[in-house]
Amino acid sequence: MQIAANKFTESTAIPPVPEIYFKNSEEAKQSEYAVITLFALATKHALDMLSLRQLLEDQQLSQVIIDELVRTYEEHRQDFVLRQLNLGHYLPNITDVQWRIMADVKSSTSSQSSGEVGFHINLGCYHPHSGDRESIVEFVCNTEEIHLLINKLKDVERQCEKLAKE
């Protein structure tokens, strides 16, 4: 946020997006992240337009930048609130894993095959009252990636066991 704030105090006008990315794409990405974080936190704490403006003025940002951020926040605040309501307050509790192997094979219509095996993984949970399954995360990975994932999960398990013994 500080990098974005420093950049916002230096100029009096907001340059167009292609120019921002051309000059320094890394700082542009950090600035985007800072703005998204600002809007997410402002929404979480139910800030109104005046409270957000005061917060930004306390950071000594350029007035042009403050006006643009406050205008954008106010214009999209209802969307931010609705989106945040869909996120929930806790991390998902994954209680079920479904998977299947996918293989690229030759067929009568295609003479080419990569011969690679892929894994389709679906992590989810069952609702306690209805028993319905909800998918939380779904992804596809190759053999190497599944091995890396399994090894990282084993590391997590070892760390949890180590902490439980202490």
| Single-letter code of the amino acid located at 71 | R
Per-residue model confidence (pLDDT) at position 116: 80
Quick check: is 110 in a domain?
no
Per-residue model confidence (pLDDT) at position 3: 44
Quick check: is 136 in a domain?
yes
Strand 133-142 relative to strand 117-126, pairing: antiparallel
Query: Could you tell me if 69 and 99 lie in one domain?
Result: no
Quick check: is 6 in a domain?
no
For the segment 141-160, what is each residue's pLDDT rounded down to a tens digit?
A: 999 999 999 999 999 999 99
Query: Could you tell me if 58 and 98 lie in one domain?
Result: no
pTM above 0.75, yes or no: no
Per-residue model confidence (pLDDT) at position 7: 43
Quick check: is 22 in a domain?
yes
- Look at the block and give the residue holding tokens 């979480």: 44
Query: Could you tell me if 100 and 136 lie in one domain?
Result: yes
Question: How large is the greatest C-alpha to C-alpha distance in the chain, in angstroms?
Answer: 69
Query: Could you tell me if 67 and 99 lie in one domain?
Result: no
Quick check: is 5 in a domain?
no
Question: Domain span at residue 68?
Answer: 15-84
Say how many domains are in the chain: 2
**Low-confidence stretches of the chain (pLDDT beneath 70):** 1-17, 20, 88-91, 105-114
Query: Could you tell me if 79 and 19 lie in one domain?
Result: yes
- Look at the block and give the residue holding tokens 């139910």: 46
- Look at the block and give the residue holding tokens 């930048």: 65
Quick check: is 89 in a domain?
no
Per-residue model confidence (pLDDT) at position 4: 44
Query: Could you tell me if 76 and 132 lie in one domain?
Result: no
Quick check: is 149 in a domain?
yes
For residue 127, report the phi and psi dihedrals to the nearest 5 degrees.
-75, 130
Per-residue model confidence (pLDDT) at position 68: 92
Quick check: is 78 in a domain?
yes
